[in-house]
Amino acid sequence: MKSYSLRSPAKINLYLEIVGDRPDGFHELATIFQSIDLADIVHVRSGLQGVIRVECEAAGVPNDPTNLAYRAAALMSERFPEAFAKFGGVDIEIDKRIPVAAGLAGGSGNGAAVLVGLDLAWGLGLTQGELQDLAAELGSDVPFCVCGGTVLATGRGEVLDPLAGVDQVWLVLAKYRSLGVSTPWAYKTYRSQFGADYARTSEALAARHSAARSGPMVRSLQSLAAGDRSALPNLRSLLRNDLERVVLPEHPQIAHLREVLDGLAPLGAMMSGSGPSVFALAESEAQATEIQAAARSTLPDPDLEFWVTKFNAAGIRPVEASQPIA
């Protein structure tokens, strides 16, 4: 079996609207995912016959069957037992650069990379749709990670409506190393506080989905993708993340970080997913670097980490031999 090394990019949510409850206990969402340059590298190789092994040296990443990369390989071995037997076991090594448990879908991306890597290594020739169906069995944002770019997602987050990819926008990401937010807690708390506003009928759900689809955030992103930079300042007022309503009051440290970044970034700042990472948008790398330096001097806490990175229009991609890994 050929070995593959794949870039598994992080994502942010530029828009996250909680629309309602679902019979499966999850929430019905309208969200806009955006891939960014910050990426892990996932190596997929053949291993000991019948054995799946995951290795990652980063703290907080389990090297066991709870790792989404392991679960992705186990799912592929169940669905394609002949390929699993023919090519031996699966050895997965993850070079972690994306902060763990940050609301950036790092683990989901690693799972997506293993699906794509094994499809290539085992010569299965799965379609994008087939890969996304497998991905949905692993987690709500794994299908997006397979696809990447700029995507409006509904359902649990697994019904994808790809938009034209946006890539000339920079961002500063910030995260307190020692802070974690439980995603199930965030959604459960949101339901208990704001569940009364949920869309209750299929008509109401459809109306909210279609409002997001034809809404000003999608229109501004489409203008940006077409090269119209005059749409950039719109982003500030269009960023939305409903989960901030429960996470920020519970974690004043995240609320303060968001306030500092929002005060420094002309294009605005927001928490990504269920947090705790916060991003600030910038129109150039120089502006992002200035925002980072100013935030660092306002908040000199060594527990706070920063990254300057950029939107990326691609999802999981094999690393070319000539391509520098960054």
Positions annotated as catalytic residues are: 11, 141
The residue among 46 and 183 lying less far from ligand C5P, judged by its C-beta, is 183
State the SS3 of 139-174.
Answer: CCCHHHHHHCCEEEEECCCCEEEEECCCCCCEEEEE
Verify binding: residue 184, ligand C5P, rule CB under 6 A: yes
The residue among 68 and 172 lying less far from ligand C5P, judged by its C-beta, is 68
| Relative orientation angle of helices 106-121 and 128-136, to the nearest 10 degrees | 130
Among the listed ranges 3-11, 73-81, 134-142, 170-178, the one in contact with ligand C5P (CB under 6 A) is 134-142
**Residue 98 to residues 9, 50, 173, 326, Cα–Cα distance (Å):** 8, 30, 11, 11
From 143, 152, 165, select the one nearest 208 (Cα to Cα): 152
The residue among 181 and 264 lying less far from ligand C5P, judged by its C-beta, is 181
Q: 48 — alpha (psi -120 to 50), left (phi > 0) or beta?
A: beta
Burial class (CB in 10 A: 0-12, 13-18, 19+), 189: middle
Verify binding: residue 140, ligand C5P, rule CB under 6 A: yes
Verify binding: residue 183, ligand C5P, rule CB under 6 A: yes
Query: Which residues ranging from 146 to 165 are in contact with ligand C5P (CB under 6 A)?
Result: 156-157
The residue among 156 and 240 lying less far from ligand C5P, judged by its C-beta, is 156
Among the listed ranges 22-30, 77-85, 215-223, 260-268, the one in contact with ligand C5P (CB under 6 A) is 22-30
Amino acid at 24: D
> Reduced to 3 DSSP states, what percent helix, strand and coil does the chain have, rounded to the nearest 5?
40, 25, 35
Verify binding: residue 187, ligand C5P, rule CB under 6 A: yes
Residue 132 parent element (H or E)? helix 128-136
The count of other CB atoms within 10 Å of the CB of residue 259 is: 13
The residue among 236 and 245 lying less far from ligand C5P, judged by its C-beta, is 245
CB of 11 to ligand C5P, least distance (A): 12
**Residue 38 to residues 17, 68, 172, Cα–Cα distance (Å):** 24, 19, 11
Verify binding: residue 175, ligand C5P, rule CB under 6 A: no
Among the listed ranges 33-41, 112-120, 179-187, 312-320, the one in contact with ligand C5P (CB under 6 A) is 179-187
Number of residues lying near ligand C5P (CB under 6 A): 11
Could you tell me the sign of the dihedral formed by the alpha carbons of 297, 303, 307, 311, in that order? negative
CB of 72 to ligand C5P, least distance (A): 13
Binding mask 24-63 for ligand C5P (x = CB under 6 A): --xx-x----------------------------------
Among the listed ranges 3-11, 93-101, 139-147, 232-240, the one in contact with ligand C5P (CB under 6 A) is 139-147
Verify binding: residue 208, ligand C5P, rule CB under 6 A: no
CB of 73 to ligand C5P, least distance (A): 17
Residues in the chain: 326
CB of 21 to ligand C5P, least distance (A): 9
Residue 16 in contact with residue 273, Cβ under 8 Å? yes
Burial class (CB in 10 A: 0-12, 13-18, 19+), 323: exposed
Tokens of 203: 């008509």
CB of 136 to ligand C5P, least distance (A): 9
CB of 134 to ligand C5P, least distance (A): 14
Measured CA to CA, the distance from residue 113 to residue 76 in angstroms comes to 12
CB of 280 to ligand C5P, least distance (A): 25
Residues that bind ligand C5P (CB under 6 A): 26-27, 29, 139-141, 156-157, 183-184, 187
